[in-house]
Amino acid sequence: MVDTQASIINIGIIGGGTYSVEVILKQIEDNNRVARNPKIIAISDPDLKSPGIQLARQLDLLTFTDYQELYQPKYKIDLIIILKPDNQLLNEVIASRPPQIRILSHDVFQFLWKDIGYVERQLKERTDEMETILNHIQDSIVVMTPEMNIVEVNESFLQQMGYSREQVIGQKCHEIFQKENRRCHLSEDGILCPLNDVIRNKATSHRADLTRLDREGNIRHMDVIVCPIWEADGKISRFIEISRDITDMKQQQEIIQKQLEQMVEERTRELEETHAKLLHQDKMSSLGKLSAAVVHEINNPIAGILNLVMLIKRINSEGPITEKETAQFEQYLDLTETELHRVSRIVSNLLTFARHSKTETKKLSLNDLVEQSIVMNANLLKINQIETIQKLDANLPGILGAEDQLQQVIMNFLSNAVEAMESTPGKQLTITTGYQLSDNKVYLSFKDTGIGIPKENHYRLFEPFFTTKKKGKGVGLGLSVAYGIIKDHEGKIDIDSKPDQGTTFTIILPINGKTAKQTD
C-alpha cells in the first residue's frame, strides 16, 4: 500500500539484490530511531524472486519489474537510487526520467554508503565506549527530557533502584522516584523537583539532598546534581541528573549522633557527680577550718562557765548561803545561761552547716546568712586581728535560694579574705549588701585590704584546683565551688583587684532565681 501522505522525499530503488536489502533495513532502523520523513516506497527489478523484491513485498512496499513505473506521478517519487553497477542502465534512466526526479548512481551511492557505514561504525564505537564508561561509574546517571520523561540511565541507577531498563525508559521521573502520578512539589517531606528549580533560576546546575523510593518502596537518601543542556534558543533539550546514594552515610551519621548524644549525657552525669563530690570536699575543708576556729570560740565561754561553777561550789562549801551570796548565785547563773546560749548558738550554726545533706530552696535573708557566718568565724577574725565592717542594707529583700550552699559561699569568701590579709597591716574586711532596683537583684560584696591578685590571674580564679595560696593553705576548690553555686542560682561573681591594693568580690543574685540544683 502506497503512503500518499506528504513527505520531504520519497525514494525508489532500481535493483533488488542483497545491496537493496541492506538499504531498506537501514532506512527502517533509522526511521524507528529518529523521526524523519525520507522513506523508500518502491523497488524495481525484473527478477521478482530477488531478495529485495521479496523483502519489499513483506513490508508492503511497491514492487515493479519495469523501472519506468517509478516515473508515475501518482507515486510522487523524488529520488531514484540505482543499486546495479550497470552504466548502460544509468544512461537509460537519465535519458528517460521525468525532470522532477533526481538520480543517484550506483558508484556515487556506494561511495556515500561506505562513508556513512564508516562514520556509523565510529559512532557506534564511541557510543559503546561511553556506555561502558557510564555503566562503570558508581554514581547513578539519568537523562530526561523537559517533559520529565526518562530516556537513558546507567547500570548503577538500575542496580541501586532495583529496576530493569525496560521498566524505566519512557517513564516520568516522578513515577519512578516518588511513585506519584503528578510532578513533585514542595511538600511536608520537603520534596521539591530539582528540575523546576533549574528552570526557574536558569541555573547551570542544581544540587540537593533528596529522598527517593526504590522499586520495593524503601526510602533512599540521594545527593543529587541536575545539569541542564541548553539550546541556542534558550530552551532545554535534556536534563542530566547525577546522584549518589548516601543512605548508608546518613544511617551512620544518625548512629554516630546518637552515640555522641549518649556520650554527652554520660559525661554530663559524670561532671554533675564530680561537681557534687567537689562541693562536698570543699564543704568538709571549710568545716575543718571552721571547727578549728570554733574550738577557741567555744573554749572561752566554757572556761567562764567552769570558773563560775567552781566559784559557786566553793561558796556553797563554806557554810550556809547568805542573802548576799544568793544574789551572787543568781548573777552567776545569768552569766552561765548567757554563755551557754552563746555556745549553743555557735554549735547549732556549725551543725546546721555540717549536716545539710539535701539542698532545699526557700525564701531567705542574705543579711542573716552573713551575720551567722560572722558569728561562727568570730574567733578566726579575732585571732587574725581583722576589723570587720558590716554595711548591711536593712531593707534588703529576701531571695529564693539554698541556704546551705549560699552559706558555704560566704564562708569561702570570709576564709579567702582572712588568708589574703595574713601578711598585711591594717587588716580590714568590709561586707556590704544592697539592692539593685533596676535589675531586681541583690548584691553582696567582700572588700579586703589584702595583697591583691594580678590581673593575668583573674580569669583563672574560678578554675578547679587553681590557687595562689602557699603550699598547704588550699587546693583551689573554694572559688570554683562558689562559682558553681552562684551560677546555679542564676547569679554571677565580679572581681576587682590589683596587687597591694586589696580585692573586692561582688556576688549578684536575682530575687527570684530558678530553684538551685539538688545535691545529696
In a domain, 252, yes or no: no
What CATH number did the domain enclosing 470 receive? 3.30.565.10
**Grid cell digits, residue 184:** 513533585
Looking at the structure, tell me whether residues 208 and 280 fall in a common domain: no
Give the per-residue pLDDT at 358: 52
Mean pLDDT calculated for residue range 82-89:
90
Which neighbouring-strand residues pair with 242? 141, 225
The domain boundary residue, chosen from 194, 211, 245:
245
Do residues 123 and 142 share a domain?
Answer: no
Beta strands in 339-403 (DSSP E): 361-364, 387-391, 399-402
515 domain-assigned: no
Cα separations (Å) of 254 from 36, 71, 257? 54, 77, 5
Same domain, 178 and 110: no
Report if residue 255 sits inside a domain.
no
Q: What is the pTM of this model?
A: 0.38
For the chain, how far is it from start to end, CA to CA, in angstroms?
102
pLDDT score of 517: 46
Q: Is the domain of 159 the same as that of 73?
A: no
Residue 353 has pLDDT above 60, yes or no: no
Phi, psi of 309 (to 5 degrees): -65, -45
Same domain, 163 and 119: no
What's the chain's average pLDDT?
79
Residue 326 lies in a domain: yes
Same domain, 404 and 384: yes
Alpha-carbon gap, residue 152 to 165, rounded angstroms: 9
Dist. CA 77–CA 2, nearest whole Å: 11
**How much is the average pLDDT of 330-359?**
64
Residue 435: per-residue pLDDT = 92
Whether residue 409 sits in one domain with residue 366: yes
**Which tens digit of pLDDT belongs to each residue from 284-342?**
665 565 565 556 556 656 766 777 777 777 777 777 777 777 777 777 787 777 667 66
Q: Are 322 and 235 within one domain?
A: no
Domain's final residue, options 81, 101, 128: 128
Does residue 264 carry a pLDDT above 60? yes
pLDDT, residue 148, reads 83
> Which of 84-98, 112-126, 166-180, 413-427 holds the top average pLDDT?
84-98
pLDDT band at 280 (very low <50, low <70, confident <90, very high): low
Residue 4 lies in a domain: no
* Structural domain includes residue 261: no
289 shares a domain with 183 = no
What is the arithmetic mean of pLDDT over 46-75? 92
Does residue 453 sit in the same domain as residue 505?
yes
pLDDT of 466-482, one tens digit each?
455 554 444 345 677 77
According to the model, what pLDDT value does residue 70 have?
Answer: 92
Q: State how far the Cα of 51 lies from the Cα of 425, in Å rounded to an integer.
A: 128
Query: Could you say which DSSP state residue 209 is in?
Result: E
- For the chain, the C-alpha Rg in angstroms (whole number) is 52
In a shared domain, residues 77 and 124? yes
How confident is the model over 156-196, as pLDDT tens digits?
Answer: 888 888 888 888 888 888 888 877 766 665 444 445 677 77
Indicate the number of domains in the chain: 3
Instruction: Scan for cell 530552551, then name that residue.
Output: 235
> Which of 128, 161, 179 is where one domain is finished?
128
CATH number at 120 reads 3.40.50.720
Residue at grid coordinates 546534581:
225
Most confident of 133-137, 331-335, 369-373: 369-373
Residue 335 lies in a domain: yes
Residue-range definition of the domain harbouring residue 157: 137-245
| Cell numbers that stand for 500 in this block | 597591694
- The rounded distance, in Å, linking the Cα atoms of 419 and 286 is 13
Quick check: 346 pLDDT over 90? no
pLDDT value of position 283: 61
Which CATH number is 164's domain given? 3.30.450.20
Look at residue 364 and tell me if it is in a domain: yes
The pLDDT of residue 184: 63
In whole angstroms, give the CA distance from residue 297 to residue 383. 10
**How many residues are given for the chain?**
520
- pLDDT grade, residue 520 (50/70/90)? very low
* In a shared domain, residues 237 and 106: no
Q: Starting at the edge strand that comes first in sequence, how are the strands of the sheet with 236-245 ordered?
A: 150-153, 140-144, 236-245, 219-230, 206-213
